[in-house]
């Protein structure tokens, strides 16, 4: 039972990491300290998707825990196992993998290239580049 719980926890963490790869730039806009971690995560996501046969360590951990829990585990990557049956029912091809990598790059570039709005200077609340405004 503990291994099944750990497996589910790692799967949830893996999914959260994928969301951070794709949408973390939106969090990094108001929280500038997230820029470095997000760019590293996005680079890792692109690398894993662009390199055929490379498996994310979280996938290996999921499989190991699932096997310890008595489940069968799975072959391939997290995306291949959980997301591609929905997005690409026929499976992950090298072209689809490169397309996913390019999509991560395009989203990341678009989010960071999107101009930041400046708040009115008379409000005393700073601007979005300084992080979320806090009431005094």
Whole-structure pTM value: 0.66
Q: How many CB atoms lie within 10 A of CB 133?
A: 14
The pLDDT confidence band at residue 20, using thresholds 50, 70 and 90, is: very high
The pLDDT confidence band at residue 25, using thresholds 50, 70 and 90, is: very high
Residue 87's closest CA among 98, 76, 77, 100? Answer: 100
Give the phi and the psi of residue 72 in degrees, each rounded to 5. -80, -20
Helices (H), 29-72: 35-50, 57-68
List, for residues 70-124, the tens digit of each pLDDT value: 876 666 666 666 665 654 546 667 787 788 889 889 999 998 998 877 655 544 4
Q: Give the model's pLDDT for residue 77.
A: 63
């Amino acid at each position: 039972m503990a291994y099944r719980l750990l497996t589910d926890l790692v799967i949830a963490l893996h999914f959260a990491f994928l969301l951070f790869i794709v949408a973390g730039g939106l969090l990094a806009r108001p929280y500038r300290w997230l820029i470095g971690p997000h760019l590293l995560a996005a680079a890792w996501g692109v690398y894993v998707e662009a390199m055929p046969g490379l498996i994310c360590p979280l996938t290996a951990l999921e499989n190991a825990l699932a096997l310890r829990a008595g489940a069968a585990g799975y072959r391939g990557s997290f995306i291949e196992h959980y997301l591609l049956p929905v997005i690409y029912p026929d499976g992950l091809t090298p072209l689809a993998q490169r397309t996913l990598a390019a999509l991560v790059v395009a989203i990341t570039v678009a989010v960071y290239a999107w101009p930041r709005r400046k708040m009115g200077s008379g409000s005393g609340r700073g601007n979005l580049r300084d992080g979320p405004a806090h009431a005094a």
